[in-house]
Amino acid sequence: MHDSQGPAGRPGLVAPPHQRLGRLTCVAATILLIVSVLTGAGSFAGSAQAATAGPCDLYAAGGTPCVAAHSTTRALYAAYGGALYQVRRSSDGRTQNVGVASAGGVADAAGQDAFCAGTSCVITVVFDQSGHGNDLAYQGPGGAGGSDTPASATSEALTVGGAKAYSLYINPGNSYWHDGHASGMPLGSAPQGAYMVTSGTHVNGGCCFDYGNSETDRKADGAGAMNAIYFGTSCWFGGCSGTGPWVQADLEYGLYSGGSQSWNQNQRAFTSRYVTAMLKNNGTSQFALKGGDAQSGGLTTLWNGALPPGYSPMKQQGAVILGSGGDCCATNTNQSLGTFYEGAVVSGYPSDATDNAVQADIAAAGYSPGSGGAGSGPLHAIGAGKCLDVPNSSTGNGSQVQIYSCSGAANQTWTATSSGQLTVYSGSSRLCLDASGKGTANGTKAITWPCNGQPNQEWSRNADGTVTGVQSGLCLDVGGASTANGAPVQLWACNGQSNQQWKLG
């Protein structure tokens, strides 16, 4: 399922030294790191506090070091202080790297907000924190080659340990790639592990939302040419439990929920807002799949057994893929969507103890939805000088909201909740701002609807004044940039215009 050239160049990054430890030292170090994470020493308390150990420190201690490590939200090593990703703004085409607020900490979202103020930005590169140079460039003209485009840099804001960050929010036609065959990626039948933190609410069945090892020629080169995590609602061979999304292995020529094309009774769906997905493969006989809630709890083992028939030995080529299948992007056939917060590819077959330590570190990181903080008051449409209004003070379901002269009335008083909702009225009349029909297309109506906890009722209030739908990544927009009373409000692709800027209170 996959994609040829890596980025033409990259800024020099100083990565922390990582050395393999002796076997006894590895065991001792892993135990110490697990203890430190489980007792809270590895948690974040805002962007200024660094982690005691990050996921890649834990992998290194277990003798399976990261050879590719990517995140838009935080450092994956306690000592990492370099760039996480690069953004490009539409106003003048300039780029800027977004790093961490402090070594081992959370992304400097304020730096991105300042650079992108008054315009729109896309993410062009996600830098490799491992020191191997496996930086992921978008698959398209000016990037890694192909026909895809870079993802918006502001589709989803969230908090990590209380500090604001942005996700890599991938829609169909967005993807990233790098040829890492000479940069430490496992090749042939070499053992490999991988994990990613993704979202159980921004998914589809398009092929294929992957992260991991892929073909260097961006063609489907046969069984075993890929070794990547897939997360989505596609179940190629049937029998997956529920309606998904599922953690599966994209091994080329198939998405596998287990060791064959038949039903895996241990496979289950992961629908939480933040999901940990893991895959490890010894390259010759065995692979394992695990999943869990990235906010709390442990991992569920979905498969731990034989490789599917025809996949031994593996034939890994060493490209790194993110957001698509490997053969997709020369003809722009990438139809997948998903969210990427962090992930890594490691050399070797991680132990279960290391898997558990990494999951504990992720849960301690403090992933949480929404931004902009709680608050209540009128939601001002900046471009029009009016307020978001429920027509005729309706308390019925499905009213499309509009802009109207500000009055301070109840039908213009909105409350931003800690879970990212925007509510109007109170008590039994309480309603939520809702993307009608869970729509993700331009022109989707913004309506009021009973609050139900679904992602089409979750909103991110961003520093640039936009309000973006968590499910769609689209901006709350005054139709036709109108300034007239009664102008309808809808969802539309973010464009940096004043009819997409709002202020609460």
Q: Give the catalytic positions in this structure.
A: 252, 327
Please report the DSSP string for 156-190 in residue order.
-EEEETTEEEE-EEE-TTB-EEEE-TTTT---BT-
Residue carrying the six token digits 């990547």: 228
Please give the Cα distance from 254 to 55 (Å, whole number): 29
Say if residues 207 and 336 touch (Cβ distance below 8 Å).
yes
Residue carrying the six token digits 């009335």: 409
- With a CB cutoff of 8 Å and minimum separation 6, the contacts of 269 are 200, 240, 241, 242, 243, 244, 245, 246
Residue 65 three-state SS: coil
Please give the Cα distance from 323 to 211 (Å, whole number): 7
- Amino acid in position 388: L
- With a CB cutoff of 8 Å and minimum separation 6, the contacts of 72 are 84, 85, 98, 107, 123, 126, 165, 166, 167, 168, 340, 341, 342
- Rounded to the nearest 5 percent, the helix, strand and coil shares of the chain are 15, 30, 55
Q: Determine how β-strand 338-347 pairs with β-strand 227-232.
A: unpaired
Report phi then psi at 194, rounded to 5: -160, 150
Please give the Cα distance from 248 to 321 (Å, whole number): 15
